[in-house]
Chain A
Amino acid sequence: MRNLQLSFNQTQKVRLEKALERLESLSSKSNPNSCVTVGDTIPVYEDGILKGHGTSDQKGELAATVCGVVERINKLIYVRALRARYKPETGDIVIGRVIEVVPKRWKLEINFTQDAILMLSSMNLPDGIQRRRTAVDELNMRSIFTENDLVCAEVRSSQGDGSLQLQARNQKYGKLERGQLLTVDPYLVKRRKQHFHHLEEYGIDLIIGCNGYIWIGEHVEARDKMVVDQGSNSEQLIAECDKNSMDLDEQDGTCTPREARQNICRIANAIRVLSRLGFNITVEVILETVNLSNSLNLDIHDMLGSEFYVLVAESEAERRSLSKRKR
C-alpha cells in the first residue's frame, strides 16, 4: 500500500484500520517469522535442501539476498521478494510498448530487466498468408508496428543470456488501439487460464498482462471476424482483410463514443484503487468494484477519493469473510 497520499478524516481512518485488520486476520496464516531482510540467516531444519531464488550461501549458512517472505516447498527454500520487476514464464500474456525497430525484430519494453524481442517471423503478416519474410517485408515493418505502439503478445521463450522472445501469431495478439494502459505491480497479477476478458455490459476489452500492464479498451470487432475466417482458404481471407482494413479506416475516422470512454475510465479507476490497496487484480474484483461505484452513483473522479477507497477496503473484507464462512 504505497503512496497513500489521500487525506482521511478521523472516521475514515478508523474504518480503514478496521477493514485492514479484518483482511489481515483473514489472510492465509503465514508465519510472521518468515519475513526476512537482506543478510538475515534463514533457519534450515533439514539436510539436502535446494537453495532457490533470493538466497545465497554465506559461510555455510543460508542468507537472504532480498527482503521478502521465506517459502518452503518440499526441499526447496526460496525468498519471494515483495516488489520486484516482472519474472517471466513461457506462455505468459504480456503487453509491451515498442521501443525500437531493428532489422527483422521489434524491441518491446515490458517491465523486465531487459527489453523483450518480437521477431518479424513471430508476427502474422497483414495479409494473413503464411510465407517466408522477404526483404520487402522487412522494409515494411514500420507499417505493422512503429515506435510507441502497444502490443499484446505471448512469451515464447527466454534465452540463455536472459533476454526474452515473444510471439504474436494468434489473432488475439497484436496492436492495441483505442483504450488506456495501466501499470500495476506485477505481483498483483496472478497467472490464470484467461487473461483476455470481454465485458459485454460495458462493451470493453480487458487484457490483464502478467507483467503488470493492464489494457482497457473499446471492444474491437474486426479481430473476432478474423478468428472466424481462419479456417477458410487464403483468397477469401485476403478479400476479408481488404474489407476489414477499410472498416478500420472508417473506425479511425469515428471517435470512441462517450459512453465507452466513461466505462473505460471507470474500470481504470477501479483498478487504480485496487492496486493502491494491494489487492490481486482479477476480473471478478474489478467488476465488483465498478458495480459498487455504479450503485453509489459516484462520479468517475470521485472514485479516486478517500471515501471510495475506504468503501472498497470494507467491501473486500466483507466479501472475503463471507467466502471464508461458506467454506
Chain B
Amino acid sequence: MEFVSPEGLRLDGRRPTEMRQLRAEIGNVAKADGSAVFEMGNTKVIAAVYGPREVQNKSQQMSDQALVRCEYSMANFSTGDRMRKPKGDRRSTEISLVIRQTMEACILTHLMPRSQIDIFVQVLQADGGTRSACINAATLALQDAGIPMRDIVTSCSAGYLNSTPLLDLNYVEDSAGGPDVTVGLRLLSCGTYGYTLGPMD
C-alpha cells in the first residue's frame, strides 16, 4: 500500500514532516485539581490530576518525596471496534508505567513529602499517537494543578514508511508495520535533549 504518494503527500494530505492539528483545553474536570484535554488530529485524550493529597495506601508513603501514580485507560468507544477491556491489559499497564516515569522525572517531588499525586489519563478517540497525546495532556494538567515541575515534557511519534521518515503517525500509518518511535522531549532552557520511549519494532 502506498503511504506516501509520489508527490510527497501522505494519506491525509500532510507532508512527511508535518504534524496534525493540535488543540488543547484546560480546566474541563471541575472536581480535579488540574485537568486538560489534548487533541492531535483525531486523537483526543483527557487527563485529570488529583493532588498533592494524603496518601491512600500508607505502606507506599515516602517520607521525603511525593508518590506519583498514573493510570492510563482507553474508553470503550475510542477505537473503531468497541474495546473489551479498557484498562488492566498489558498495553495499558505499560503505558501507565511509561507516563508515570516521564512525569515523575519532571515533578519536584521532594517539595511535597508524604503526599500523593494521581494522574488519570483516558483516551476518548484513538487515531494513532495516543501515547504522545497522553504525555502532552498530563503535562498540561499538572501545570493547571499548580504542581511544581522542573520543566515541560512534550511528546510526538515518528515512523518510517515507503523509504520516508514520517512525523506524527495516525492509526493507518501506525498499523502499517513499519518501525515507529515515540519521543519525549524535555524543554530545558539551554535547549533540548530527548529520550525515547516505546517499542521500536
Contacts and interface: CB of A to CB of B under 8 A. Distances in A.
Interface of A: 2-3, 37-41, 54, 56, 58-59, 61, 63, 65-68, 81-85, 99, 109, 113-115, 161-163
Interface string B18-50: 000000000110100110000000000000000
A85 B63 contact: no
Interface in B133-163: 143-152
B85 interface: no
Nearest to B26: A2
B149 A38 contact: yes
B52 A58 contact: no
A308 to B, nearest CB: 19
9 contacts: A2-B27, A59-B189, A63-B151, A66-B147, A67-B144, A85-B33, A113-B114, A114-B114, A162-B113
Contacts of B51: 113
B94 interface: no
A85 B143 contact: no
Contact of B114 (A41, A65, A68, A163): A163
A37 B189 contact: no
Contacts of A163: 114
A41 to B, nearest CB: 5
Contacts of A161: 63, 113-114
Interface string B122-134: 0000000000000
Given A3-B30, A65-B108, A38 B151 contact: yes
A300 to B, nearest CB: 21
Greatest chain B CB density within 10 A among A38, A40, A41, A99 is at A38
B187 interface: yes
Contact of A58 (B63, B148, B152, B188): B188
Given A3-B30, A39-B152, A113 B147 contact: no
B150 A37 contact: no
Contacts of A85: 33, 52-53, 146
B115 interface: yes
Interface residues on B, range: 20 to 34
A65 B149 contact: yes
A58 B54 CA distance: 30
Contacts of B27: 2-3
B112 A61 contact: no
A67 B143 contact: yes
Contact of B30 (A2, A99, A109): A2
Give 6 nearest A-B pairs by CB, closest first: A84-B146, A39-B151, A81-B146, A65-B148, A2-B27, A113-B52
A58 B112 contact: no
A82 B150 CA distance: 17
A140 B8 CA distance: 78
B1 interface: no
Contacts of B145: 83-84
Given A38-B143, A84-B145, A113-B53, A56 B114 contact: no
B153 to A, nearest CB: 10
B148 A66 contact: yes
A54 B146 CA distance: 10
B200 interface: no
Contacts of A63: 151, 189
Contacts of B66: 113
Nearest to A81: B146
A61 B53 CA distance: 31
